[in-house]
Amino acid sequence: MKRLPTGPTDEPDRMNEPVGSRDESRYEPDIKKEYANDQIVVTWEPEYCIHAADCLNGLPAVFDPWRRPWVAVDAASADEIAEVVMRCPTGALHFQRLDGGDQEPEPEDPTVQLRPNGPLFVRGKIRIEDASGHLIREDTRVALCRCGGSGNKPFCDGTHRTIGFRSGPSRSSGS
């Protein structure tokens, strides 16, 4: 895994390019970027990021798509960063504590949340295998495509926004 500096760089800003720009090298499979200090390491896997913006809204001083690198782990406490990383619905963000703080917890029972006009957010101990039984991904949080248009199936890549996917009316529980 490549460790990235926490200071400014001259990289061009591509964070808010349209979803269709996933031909960039940062979206290639198995790319992991790390942002670290002596307290915490934040890992970002762009392949799974659909820009839900829970991180940006949770700690804008740490997660800023206009800055390079976009994660500034020195801008908040390790506890604050860990709490916001856990909000990432796709599992694109994870953390490892280096200071003896709590690591990411083992998940409880699995849950599936249908997002209006969007993906399925799944939380829990998740193991996704292909039809031959080969492991695709193990994680505690994933966003699964339900529009059928993702170029990263079975994971959501945000295509539902560009193709106008509509999930239909909500069903009442017990139906």
pTM beyond 0.75: the answer is yes
**Domain ranges in the chain?**
2-97, 111-163
Residues 6+ apart with CB under 8 A from 1: 32, 33, 34, 43
User: How many CB atoms lie under 10 A from the CB of residue 150?
Assistant: 21
- On the CB side of 158, CA atoms within 13 Å amount to 18
Q: Which residue has the higher pLDDT, 34 or 1?
A: 34
Strands 40-44 and 120-129 come out as unpaired
CATH 3.30.9.10 fits 2-97, yes or no: no
Residues 6+ apart with CB under 8 A from 43: 1, 32, 33, 34, 93, 94, 95, 96
For residues 52 and 21, the answer to whether their CB atoms sit within 8 Å is no
pLDDT tens digits, residue range 112-133? 999 999 999 999 999 999 999 9
Assigned fold of 111-163:
Ribosomal Protein L9; domain 1 (3.40.5)
- Residue 6 has a pLDDT of 42
Residues 6+ apart with CB under 8 A from 109: 124
Spell out the alpha helix ranges (H) of the chain: 54-58, 78-85, 159-163
pLDDT tens digits, residue range 37-85? 999 999 999 999 999 999 999 999 999 999 999 999 999 999 999 999 9
Give the position of tokens 């709490």.
83
pLDDT band at residue 32, thresholds of 50, 70 and 90?
very high
* Euclidean distance between CA atoms 95 and 135, whole angstroms: 22
